[in-house]
Amino acid sequence: MKTSILAAGVSLMALPAMAEQPVLTVYAGDYFTSEWGPGPAIEKGFEAICACDLQFSTGDLLPRLLLEGERTEADVVIGLTTDVLARARATGLFAPHGQDLAALTLPVAWPDETFIPFNWGHTAFIYDETRMAAPPASFDDMRNLPDDMKVVIQDPRTSISGLALVLWVKSVYGDQAGAFWADLAPHILTVTKDWSESYGLFTDGEADMVLSYTTSPAYHMFAENDLTKKAAIFPEGHYFMAETVGKIAGTDQPALADQFMGWVLSAEFQTMIPAANWSLPSALPKDQWPEGWAALPLPEKVLFLTEDEAEAQREAVIEEWRAALAQ
């Protein structure tokens, strides 16, 4: 089936009418369109069915939309994460998606009429079992790590995963979050600006654990055949994050935008998400996940803050984190 789609794509590209094709402009994060991101597969797949030219425009998502306002060139925006949705919604730039979300297979309810999740995952601490014989079995174990165990995390002020961590800690510990940070502080090797720096310190052996995602071991398993990287699964629950797609209200390609929004929920799109994005598909039953993925250890309990809860807590939890660690 894949080859027929490919063939259709190639024959479409060969048509001389190409120049006349309508253009669907999709804003995406920087990582998206590289050959190691999901962008190229998405572009090829959608262009095979839409008789259009899908053009990604990559860069900062929310700051760019806020600066551009009504002038934005975007028809569709892909990649806004759950914790920034409140602010994205408040721009008033997005239109209702009008799609039937019955196909969603998320572990949380998703009644949103504007944003459709296209993938999901949870935050988790990743360790290397060859270097850490006794990984923490619960979140509380993180407070009593052996003295020489060091964790590297991301700054909640500059990174989306760092923000997810402070919200995660808050969801688990509530009023005791400050005390948790004080206990973890001696084990924090350092805090980095974004995820990739942290992960680099972990893979280079400088840190024993890194804040990342439950799906991170999948990359090592499937791309590197390395089974030593594991996510520490905590019974207290793991923080849920999804990336979404939204349609711009002022789009000049409303029909194409709608078609794209619907396609995101299709099995074709969803089956390519795991390996292209190293995250879980949002609308695909577990028995249809690509081979090997269903065996990935995932937490039983999922912690989820609605965007309003996340937005209401954001400043306070960041400040609590900063105050506890700045000593």
Partner 1 sequence: MARGAGAMIGIGVAACVAALTLLPLGAVFLRAGGWPGFGPGDWEAVVFTVQQALLSAALSCGLAVPVARALVRRRFWGRGLLIALMGAPFILPVIVAVLGLVAVFGRSGVLNDLLAALGLPAFSLYGAHGVVLAHVFLNLPLAVRMLVQGWQAIPAERFRLAQSLGFGPREMFWHIERPMLMAIVPGALVVIFVICLTSFAVALTLGGGPGATTVELAIYQAVKFDFDLGRAGVLAAVQFGLCLLAAGLGWRWATPSAFGAGMGRLAMIPGPGGWRCWGDMLVIGLAAAFLLVPLGAVVMRGMPGLLLLPETVWAALGRSVSVALMSTLVTVAAALALALTVAARGRGAAVMDLVAVLPLATSGLVLGVGLFLLVQPLMIPSRAALPVTILVNAVLTLPFVYRLLLPQAVAMLADYGRLAESLGLRGWARLRWLVLPRLARPLGFGAGISMAFSMGDLGVIALFAGDREATLPLVVQRLMGAYRMDQAMGAALVLVLVSFALFWAFDALGRRHAAS
Q: Which residues bind partner 1 (CB under 8 A)?
A: 30-31, 34-37, 55-60, 62-64, 66-68, 71, 73, 87, 150, 155, 157-158, 163, 185, 188-193, 195-197, 199-201, 203-206, 216, 219-220, 223, 278, 319, 321-322, 325-327
Three-state SS at 200: helix
Which CB atom, from 236 or from 311, has the smaller least distance to partner 1? 311
CB of 50 to partner 1, least distance (A): 18
Which CB atom, from 63 or from 111, has the smaller least distance to partner 1? 63
CB of 324 to partner 1, least distance (A): 9
Which CB atom, from 107 or from 178, has the smaller least distance to partner 1? 178
Contact 85, 115 (CB under 8 A): yes
Residues 292, 298, 300: CA angle, nearest 5 degrees: 140
> Where would I find the H helices in 57-138?
62-68, 85-90
The beta-carbon contacts of 67-75 under 8 Å, at least 24 apart in sequence, are 69/93, 70/250, 72/27, 72/248, 72/250, 73/25, 74/25, 74/26, 74/27, 74/248, 74/251, 75/24, 75/25, 75/26, 75/247, 75/248, 75/251, 75/252, 75/253, 75/256, 75/257
CB of 98 to partner 1, least distance (A): 28
CB of 162 to partner 1, least distance (A): 10
Contact 127, 209 (CB under 8 A): yes
CB of 123 to partner 1, least distance (A): 16
CB of 185 to partner 1, least distance (A): 8
What span, in angstroms and rounded, lies between the C-alpha atoms of 77 and 59?
11
Which CB atom, from 62 or from 296, has the smaller least distance to partner 1? 62
Which CB atom, from 63 or from 174, has the smaller least distance to partner 1? 63
Which CB atom, from 107 or from 200, has the smaller least distance to partner 1? 200
CB of 197 to partner 1, least distance (A): 6
Which CB atom, from 300 or from 319, has the smaller least distance to partner 1? 319
Q: Residues for the chain: how many in total?
A: 327
Residues 275, 280, 286: CA angle, nearest 5 degrees: 105
